[in-house]
Structure 1
């Protein structure tokens, strides 16, 4: 029995992100909920709460979708997580949004995180079984314009965690998103935005006889879109993040990034993420690129961290499609 408990603890408390503090590892589960799923935001330093809307709005800030120029969008993203350290951690994400008129819309998503298979041994060290841990979440949200240039959203998540050893566990969580969008006189067509999100607030996950918190987050960000001409556009943004749940594992982090787009066809991105390493945070630079053609989009990002970081050389690949409206 103690062997099984040990394996459960390793998976739910530390393996999805190897570099965690002792306080975090004693109380947090479903760490995959903190992984930025899409290549665009990841290429800009893991920002996103105030960026222009995209198919992964269910993760970043669902309130943004009412300002989208397109009627709808869908996308899929793949991440071989911590590939430089160990194989078997794969993160698959699908998402999209659909606008209902000019003042409301819905978002949806699905996240699936797989862990490497693990052999289970008895007290004598004999292999008795093999576990194939996996976790997933279903996401559904609603956004509405409540004042000029200002929207709010509520997103619900159903989280399922199966370590392959004990009974599977589940939880329900909610996000609240606020998004403000306003034109500026700096340039014709220039827009600045402010976004706020409180995420993963809900029930605990129970494994065996112990309950674990979800990673509750608060995110504040801003962005500035500068279309210098039809051929040259610049987008800059910043995020300030604070993990306040579980109690005792508070962590501040920040990201800054930029995106240059040429003729609405090709984008180049860069950014930097900073956090307190003594509390389990990571510092790293990111780069990325994207292509846009006939409403199809393709994005790639790459993460550059210290040689001892579990996240070193992590990359993301995202493909998507936009329906209606003007390309952006």
Structure 2
């Protein structure tokens, strides 16, 4: 199986390549590049769970943990579902992925919710990441046929509000990852990985006056993908899921009778052990042993970087975005996503638009990046949202 080729196609498969091409998945991380920069030394399974499927949040630089809720809220902060103002709805989102490399990798997302007794909301979602068709070959170049690697996640979410200002939410997630197509590698036969994870989230919002303008200020947090480790081979160590904490704030101001504008900023950090630095004999010379329990890995992720506190700070990604609505019917959005060059180097601008008519919403997002530095450049994403019913029918 040509793992090197697959690795160029998607971040998910790159993670698997690292596991199976090394005699030990946690040993020998190469950190220095030809240009003197460092490579990202945080490794997890199924990083597709970190991709933003929602076109609205995508257009705002992936910021959205504290912005107003919509049908896709569970993908970034399930607690926001409690403040939806219609009884039920659903949405479909689609994102072509790594468009500059291949044409058949994509992420599809289907979500829906049902709100009852005004303060409770039950939601579900299905996320499917297709890596397209791949031609498999062995080490000698012999054709082994065609594979269709894919990954998916199924979520059930619940949110409840406590008055008009505070809400809590949680999600339970089943994850399936079939990116090795059952092929044999040096260490033996591979198999699909499976795992179960949970999210815990919260939102607080308050109305105030900023510069003489009525403003809704909100703060949110989402701790996601906390669950069992995932394995693709009985002879190799299991990998952590991409546990992540996202904290953010937003301010939405009413400019006049027809116009509102919102600004948002999110900070996120992986709750995954940072790979240490090894000497030629695979002894750790800086950092901590990444082969540890889930609680130890999560807690230790704040202090285990070989470069100390300065490296821990570089592991924090920043997303910023803005959204302008005219007459609650037409929206324009823009944002910027920043990731340290030594921790993934995912840096790009985003723009987008939204149109709302009756029960129907459509959102678009476009990612702008230097094609020489980002395989995500020139990516167009869209979401279709439907909300049904009248708010008045909700009963407390």
- Taking structure 2 as the reference length, what is the TM-score of the superposition? 0.75
1:252 is the counterpart of 2:316: yes
What is the root-mean-square deviation of aligned Cα atoms in Å? 2.3
Gaps of 5+ in 2: 17-37, 183-189, 276-304, 306-311, 392-396
- Structure 1 position 102, deviation (Å): 2.2
Please name the residue that 2:143 is paired with.
127
Gaps of 5+ in 1: none
Q: State the aligned residue count.
A: 319
1:317 is the counterpart of 2:382: yes
Q: Select the structure of larger CA radius of gyration.
A: 2
Q: Secondary structure at the match of 2:71?
A: coil
Q: Secondary structure at the match of 1:212?
A: coil
| Separation in structure 2 between the aligned mates of residue 292 and residue 302 of structure 1, nearest angstrom | 19
Indicate the structure with greater strand content.
1
1:296 is the counterpart of 2:360: yes
After TM superposition, the structure 1 stretch with the greater mean CA deviation from structure 2, 247-256 or 270-279, is: 247-256
What's the CA shift string for 1:142-177, capped at 9, x where partnerless?
112246621111111100011223322211111110
- Structure 1 position 106, deviation (Å): 1.4
After TM superposition, the structure 1 stretch with the greater mean CA deviation from structure 2, 162-171 or 52-61, is: 162-171
Native 8 Å contact 1:151 1:178 kept in 2: yes
- Corresponding residue to 1:220 among 223, 227, 247: 247
| Separation in structure 2 between the aligned mates of residue 117 and residue 232 of structure 1, nearest angstrom | 46
After TM superposition, the structure 1 stretch with the greater mean CA deviation from structure 2, 284-293 or 182-191, is: 182-191
| Separation in structure 1 between the aligned mates of residue 69 and residue 203 of structure 2, nearest angstrom | 10
- Which residues in structure 2 correspond to 1:1-328 (within 5 Å)? 3=1, 12-14=12-14, 21=39, 23-24=41-42, 27-146=43-162, 149-163=165-179, 164-165=181-182, 166-186=190-210, 190-208=215-233, 209-210=235-236, 211-248=238-275, 251-308=315-372, 309-325=374-390
What's the CA shift string for 1:171-225, capped at 9, x where partnerless?
1111110111211134676311110111111011110132111111101111111
| Separation in structure 2 between the aligned mates of residue 283 and residue 123 of structure 1, nearest angstrom | 35
Please name the residue that 2:287 is paired with.
none
- Structure 1 position 295, deviation (Å): 1.6
| Separation in structure 2 between the aligned mates of residue 120 and residue 13 of structure 1, nearest angstrom | 14
What's the CA shift string for 1:106-157, capped at 9, x where partnerless?
1211100000322222343210222110000001111122466211111111
Q: Secondary structure at the match of 1:190?
A: strand
Native 8 Å contact 1:301 1:317 kept in 2: yes
- Structure 1 position 325, deviation (Å): 4.3
Flag the 1:8–1:88 CA change in 2: closer, same or farther, 3 A: closer
Q: Secondary structure at the match of 1:42?
A: helix
